[in-house]
Amino acid sequence: MNNNSIPWWMRLKVHFLLFGVTMSILPLFLLGNLGFTSVRHNLQKNIYEQDFEQVTIIANEIRDFINHVENSLTLTKATSANALVGKDETSRQIILEILLQKESFIEEIRVMDESFNVIGQISRQEGISPYTSADRIEPPIFTDKFSVLSDVVFSTDRRPAIYMTTIVHDPLTMNRIGYLQAKIDLQSIISRYVNIRMGEGEYVFLVDQKGNLIGHTNFNFGLDYKKIRQHSAVESYLDGAGFSQGSEYKNLDGVSVIGAFTSVGTPNWAVFIEQPVQEANKPIFEFAFQLIVIAFLIMVLVMILSIAFGLKVVYPIENLEKQVRRIISTGDLESHIPIESWDEIGRLVKSFNQLLNSLDQMNENLKDEKELLATVVDGVGAGMVLLNTDKQIIWWNTKFAEWFGYHLENLPCDQVVKGEGMEGVYNEKGRNICTVCVNEERRHFRQMLYELSLDNPESAAYLLLLDDVTQEVEMEARIIETDKMAAIGLLASGVAHEINNPLAIIAAHSEDLLDRLNEEEVSPTQEEIKSVFKIVLGQIDRCKQITGRLLGFARQHIRGSNLIDIGVVSVQTLGLLEHKTKQKQIRFDLQIENNLFILGNENEWQQVVLNLINNALDASSEGKVIEVKGYREGEKIYFIVKDYGEGISQINLKKAFDPFFTTKSVGQGTGLGLYVSYGIVQKMQGEMTLESTEGEGTCVKITLTPHNG
């Protein structure tokens, strides 16, 4: 086979390459996937922890700032309570200016009297602001606490702020004498305390307990105070959740983000931090890209090594294949393949050379065996034919060609062997015996057909053997005829005696009639003459029946099988032995059923019955009974002849079916009866068994297959 005709996926080079790539990609994929999964999990965990840490820090700083402002206001009122609510306007303004300068996130400070009337105020934008007696605290605070933090209020431009109000007490009496209120700018606080290092795209925003957006680090986001309550994280906070250590969800813009939040406490706000998932996962993507690049480089390196190693391994194998193809094409088994290395492939080449030597030797042996087999096949006396599945001839030996010619290929075997010259076909022990005219000479062939396995070189399905058994068949026919003639000779005397009785009656009546006709006085009447003639005709018919039975048995043997009733044929045959049975005063006990049809030869079956009955008569003494039974049982027909004579010893019983063996005295038998009968029964596809006990009698049992057609 040409190397180019091998599909690419079957080449060793490709196998080495695929193996190398697979063994490089698979471990890298498993390890990379494990590492990538682990890194991604850890990175996400770190992102969650970092986000929660950031919002916690911001919440703590805002809470600390509120506490710081509260402490500043408390310290100021405690040290300057009288000056704050006193009538000295200058002292009050100085204290307020110092407090305003100290706390940079306080936007405005007010001082109120006990009735919540503003008595002094200062603003970072306008300085000392004018006020009237109608100005009151904004918003008014009614509480028993020392300090109160208001809700978030928004200016017209949605700038958030809160008011922290603390009660001013008289240092001596501790009675309430006024209020000190500071307005805190939340936007500045948010800008300061969330000014921490955040990841790409990360932002922070604050929401109060009512769901109002206080501030946001992403100015493009906008302070959408109406939709902020629809935010999933804000909803969790408003539903009572104090914090979230990190989760993934979609923000108001439908962007997937990673976020966390925590409650500030005092004031009751929450700090939220969010980062788009795409931005948060950038380190993961960068790691995955690096991993893919490394895997690709390793795969390329492994491919190069695999190709190099594959070429190194495959080249000697391809060279070996080339040399093998050369040997196959030339058929030169004596040539050898050069050994180029002493590794495993070199040892393979060496082993192949040894195989070539063995094949060469075996080839020579096969040639010798083929010549010997051809000599045996051509020299054997049987014809041999190989047939295909349609039983057409595909090979034949010399003997077969001598019989039927040499131009037989693809001809039907039945047409060649049987043809127009076929005279008869019958079975013998499961094998066909056919009679065919070959070269104007009648021959008998025994056919034996054997089924073969189809994996033979000739694709033959059957082997037919033809054995020329002409001499055997003719010898068997002569033996049967000899036995038949011997039986006719034995029957002749009995037939003669049987004929004598009717002849004597005919003679007596004829003489009486002649004497009466010669007398002149009284002549016989016409009625008397008719009566005598009737008696004579009856006796003549009796003679005719006796001679007819003998002639029927003695007629020429006709080969072939017909449908016969063995019961009817057997009863007719027993009539030939009527005289012998009368002489020995032996009685037949007949138990023969009707319709015992088989395929056989009527004349041959008569000979079987005659031989068995003759043997039984010879073995039986006067006054005995011979049982003759014929019946059907299941799928078989049985015919039994049993006598109660002298029997056969066990030593002679083994020889009973041998030709020319007899226990009778000289001149009483030929020794062919049982031998011929046994052969006839076998030809009819039957079985014959013999059971005998010396002094008690003999039983012959024949088993036949009925004809059900």
How far is residue 493's CA from residue 104's CA, in Å, rounded to a whole number?
Answer: 167
**Helix, strand, or coil (residue 98):** helix
Residue 72 lies in a domain: no
Which of residues 434, 468, 502 is at a domain's end?
468
**If we measure between CA atoms, which residue out of 98, 101, 100, 96 comes closest to residue 118?**
96
Provide the residue type at 4 as one letter.
N
Which of residues 164, 190, 216 is at a domain's end?
190
Mean pLDDT along residues 431-458: 72
For residue range 362-380, list pLDDT tens digits in order: 888 887 777 776 666 666 6
Give φ, ψ of 491 to 5 degrees: -80, -20
How far is residue 350's CA from residue 355's CA, in Å, rounded to a whole number?
Answer: 9
**Helix, strand, or coil (residue 146):** coil
Same domain, 558 and 461: no
Provide the residue type at 386 as one letter.
L
Region of poorest pLDDT, from 29-38, 70-79, 493-502:
493-502
pLDDT of res. 330: 80
How far is residue 132's CA from residue 120's CA, in Å, rounded to a whole number?
Answer: 9
Residue 311 lies in a domain: no
Mean pLDDT along residues 488-492: 56
Mean pLDDT along residues 417-422: 52
**Residue 21 pLDDT greater than 50, yes or no:** yes
Beta-carbon count within 10 A of 413 CB: 22
pLDDT of res. 547: 65
- pLDDT band with cut points at 50, 70 and 90 for residue 6: low
Q: Which residues pair with 118 in a beta bridge?
A: 112
DSSP assignment letter at 430: T
pLDDT of res. 420: 41
Same domain, 410 and 489: no
Mean pLDDT along residues 702-709: 80
**If we measure between CA atoms, which residue out of 614, 668, 609, 607 comes closest to residue 485?**
607
Mean pLDDT along residues 469-487: 62
Same domain, 456 and 515: no
Mean pLDDT along residues 275-282: 83
Residue 486 lies in a domain: yes
- pLDDT band with cut points at 50, 70 and 90 for residue 398: confident
Region of poorest pLDDT, from 198-202, 279-283, 485-489, 540-544:
485-489
Structure tokens at 182: 């500071």
Q: Are 542 and 502 in contact (CB under 8 A)?
A: yes
**Residue 303 pLDDT greater than 80, yes or no:** no
Same domain, 457 and 593: no
How far is residue 487's CA from residue 615's CA, in Å, rounded to a whole number?
Answer: 11
How far is residue 212's CA from residue 151's CA, in Å, rounded to a whole number?
Answer: 10
Residue 55 lies in a domain: no
Name the burial class of residue 681, with classes exposed (0-12), middle (13-18) and buried (19+) by CB atoms within 10 angstroms of its CB.
Answer: buried
**If we measure between CA atoms, which residue out of 375, 369, 421 comes closest to residue 398?**
375
Structure-model confidence comparison of residues 477 and 60, the more confident one: 60
Structure-model confidence comparison of residues 675 and 214, the more confident one: 214
How does DSSP assign 641-687, residue by residue? Answer: EEE-SS---HHHHTTTTSTT---SPTTS--S-HHHHHHHHHHHTT-E
Q: Is the dihedral of CA 535, 538, 540, 542 positive or negative?
A: negative
* Chain mean pLDDT for the chain: 76
Domain count, the chain: 3
Same domain, 486 and 461: no
Region of poorest pLDDT, from 224-233, 355-364, 422-431, 544-553:
422-431
Residue 491 lies in a domain: yes
CB within 8 A of 519, min separation 6: which ones?
A: none
**Residue 616 pLDDT greater than 60, yes or no:** yes
Per mean pLDDT, which of 3-12, 341-350, 433-442 is the most reliable?
341-350
Asked if omega into 524 is within 30° of 0 (cis), the reply is: no
Same domain, 537 and 669: yes
Same domain, 616 and 596: yes
Residue 146 lies in a domain: yes
Mean pLDDT along residues 3-30: 70
Laid out side by side, the sheet with 441-451 consists of: 393-396, 383-387, 462-468, 441-451, 431-438, 422-428
Mean pLDDT along residues 567-586: 76
- pLDDT band with cut points at 50, 70 and 90 for residue 638: very high
Rg (CA), the chain: 67
How does DSSP assign 543-581, residue by residue? Answer: HHHHHHHHHHHHSPP--S-EEEEHHHHHHHHHGGGHHHH
For residue range 311-337, list pLDDT tens digits in order: 777 777 778 778 888 887 887 777 777
How far is residue 218's CA from residue 609's CA, in Å, rounded to a whole number?
Answer: 128
User: Model-level pTM?
Assistant: 0.43
Cα dihedral: 37, 40, 41, 44 (round 10): -170
Structure tokens at 23: 């063994």
Residue with tokens 């009856």: 538
Structure-model confidence comparison of residues 505 and 230, the more confident one: 230
Same domain, 641 and 694: yes
Q: Are 689 and 620 in contact (CB under 8 A)?
A: no
Region of poorest pLDDT, from 133-147, 209-223, 273-287:
133-147
Residue 290 lies in a domain: no
Same domain, 463 and 518: no
The domain that holds 569 is classified in CATH as 3.30.565.10
Provide the residue type at 554 as one letter.
A
The domain that holds 128 is classified in CATH as 3.30.450.20
Same domain, 435 and 533: no
pLDDT of res. 261: 92
**Residue 133 pLDDT greater than 50, yes or no:** no
**Residue 541 pLDDT greater than 70, yes or no:** no
Beta-carbon count within 10 A of 69 CB: 22
pLDDT of res. 425: 45
Which range of residues forms the domain containing residue 533? 477-704
Mean pLDDT along residues 357-362: 82
Same domain, 407 and 425: yes
Structure-model confidence comparison of residues 666 and 515, the more confident one: 515
**Residue 127 pLDDT greater than 60, yes or no:** no
Residue 657 lies in a domain: yes
- pLDDT band with cut points at 50, 70 and 90 for residue 543: low
Which of residues 129, 164, 190 is at a domain's end?
190
For residue range 579-597, list pLDDT tens digits in order: 677 777 788 888 888 888 8
Residue with tokens 């922070």: 204
How far is residue 195's CA from residue 471's CA, in Å, rounded to a whole number?
Answer: 128
**Residue 666 pLDDT greater than 50, yes or no:** no
Mean pLDDT along residues 500-507: 64
Percent of the chain with pLDDT over 90: 1
How far is residue 286's CA from residue 112's CA, in Å, rounded to a whole number?
Answer: 61
**Residue 554 pLDDT greater than 60, yes or no:** no
For residue range 692-701, list pLDDT tens digits in order: 888 888 898 9
Mean pLDDT along residues 654-671: 58
Same domain, 573 and 668: yes
* Beta strand 383-387 pairing with 213-216: unpaired
